[in-house]
Amino acid sequence: MSQPYFGADYAALQSFDPEVADVLLGEVDRLRSGLQLIASENMSSPAVIAALGSTLTNKYAEGYPGRRYYGGCEVVDVAENLAIERCKSLLGADHANVQPHSGASANQAVYGAFMQPGDTILAMALPMGGHLTHGTKVSFSGKWFNAVHYGVDKNTEDIDYDEVERLAKEHKPKIICAGGSAIPRLIDFEFFRRVADEVGAILWVDAAHFIGLVAGQAIPSPVPHADVVTFTTHKVLRGPRSGALVCKEEHAKALDKAVFPMMQGGPQMHTIAAKAVNFKECASADYQAYAKQVIANAQQLATSLGEKGIRPTTGGTDTHLSLHDLQGVQVTGADAEKRADAAGIVLNKNAIPFDPQKPNVASGIRVGAPCVTTQGMGTEEMKVIADLIHRAITQGDGTAEHSVAQDVRAEVTDLVTRFPAYPEPTAG
Ligand SMILES: *Cc1c(COP(=O)(O)O)cnc(C)c1O
């Protein structure tokens, strides 16, 4: 069986371990048969997946290119140097570290480089759109550091910039963090830079969600303004599941030491090679067109859902995702997630600003356009998807047997047949 997007040798896996081989096929089938609207997900290319499924996974390469703790690194050094150079050029950065294993690992390195336990960070609150690693109590960041949180303005539902400035002056944080997981609007990086300078703080932008839109030159870049920008490589960017960071030259040494040896051991050279491939993809005109289409699609989806009474917070989006308040259609986030899923639409419940519900119920959903745009869908398809979401979550009962779920699923099947996620696995 020829499965280019499974990496090296699917046939060998299939004969040795049919159970796991079935999981790989089953997941391709799941991706191909439903609509993937999770804002933090994307579908990486066969080239990226080929690099991931390579013997580079075997190599120990603690250290950095040319300065390793192991012999035999001359080949993988080429991959890491390519990844570093491509990343710097893609984002116009002084310095790049491509070793973080994930977004959370990259963020850990920021704390490691600039903070001592007990020091203060100012960041966005998780229920307002922030991230676990921005000082929540369940994360290392909130257990070992003093986190002060800003939120969103009650009227605009966008970042409360006055509160940012007030809290910065009051608490004099070591780090001010901008960025999060459910922020539909552009972030005013100049503003954050000015406030950070006024209180002598490091400005850290966590661009995990939107760095792909920056790489595709579809939205303004935080790189000229921030001391350090961390990101994931698997969200809009569309690379392997991993992380990276870029920073100003003056912070290069501190951040490199914080990634290794402070926070991580050996780098994953197969993933670093896949990041190099991804950065090359992102420098293409095709990817730039993709990034712009992601935003156009997200905006259409937000508008069309809004027209059906599923209100987008902040009134819409400038990015790849929108957050929707379901109180107008009297459905909880948890029920919406379940009903959509039963109809072949994968999305997530999400707290909305000032949410009256508990986080595991929530009053909202978050939807994103990265996957469906990778599949080649455009704004016309977004109008159809908005209608399908509306029908599924207001009329379904959460079971796949319900007639509305079945009707919606039939239309989902029509869409994904016209815009397949990956080619159909073929025997051969
Ligand atoms: C996704 C995300 C992360 C974490 O990335 P992982 O790769 O899951 O560790 C960090 N920060 C923000 C803002 C994110 O959205």
Q: For ligand 1, say whether the CB of 179 is within 6 Å of any of its atoms.
A: yes
Q: For ligand 1, say whether the CB of 264 is within 6 Å of any of its atoms.
A: no
267 and 297 inside one domain: no
Ligand 1: which residue has its CA nearest to atom 3? 103
Give the Cα separation of 90 and 179 in Å (integer).
Answer: 20
User: How sure is the predictor about 2, in pLDDT bands with cuts at 50, 70 and 90?
Assistant: very low
- Spatial strand order of the sheet with 321-325 comes to 311-312, 321-325, 364-368, 348-350
| C-alpha closest to that of 415 among 393, 390, 383, 391 | 383
Tens-digit pLDDT profile for residues 59-91: 999 999 999 999 999 999 999 999 999 999 999
User: Looking at the whole model, is its pTM more than 0.95?
Assistant: yes
Tens-digit pLDDT profile for residues 43-60: 999 999 999 999 999 999
Residue 20 lies in a domain: no
273 and 329 inside one domain: no
User: How sure is the predictor about 5, in pLDDT bands with cuts at 50, 70 and 90?
Assistant: low
The CATH number of the domain where 210 resides is what? 3.40.640.10
Query: What's the CA-to-centroid distance between 180 and ligand 1, angstroms?
Result: 8
Residue 11 has pLDDT above 90, yes or no: no
Ligand 1: which residue has its CA nearest to atom 6? 103
Residue 165 lies in a domain: yes
Is the separation of the CB atoms in 242 and 271 below 8 Å?
A: yes
How many beta carbons lie within 10 A of that of residue 266, not counting itself? 15
| Three-state SS at 406 | helix
Tens-digit pLDDT profile for residues 366-407: 999 999 999 999 999 999 999 999 999 999 999 999 999 999
Catalytic residues, by residue number, are: 60, 62, 206, 232, 235, 241
116 and 164 inside one domain: yes
Average pLDDT estimate for 311-324: 98
Split into its structural domains, the chain has a count of 2
The CATH number of the domain where 289 resides is what? 3.90.1150.10
How many beta carbons lie within 10 A of that of residue 50, not counting itself? 17
pLDDT of residue 9: 77
Residue 38 lies in a domain: no
Give the Cα separation of 319 and 396 in Å (integer).
Answer: 29
pLDDT of residue 425: 78
Domain of residue 171: give its range: 52-282
Average pLDDT estimate for 30-52: 96
The alpha carbon of 348 is separated from its chain's Cα centroid by a whole number of angstroms, namely: 14
226 and 356 inside one domain: no
Residue 127 lies in a domain: yes
127 and 192 inside one domain: yes
341 and 411 inside one domain: yes
pLDDT of residue 428: 45
Average pLDDT estimate for 262-278: 98
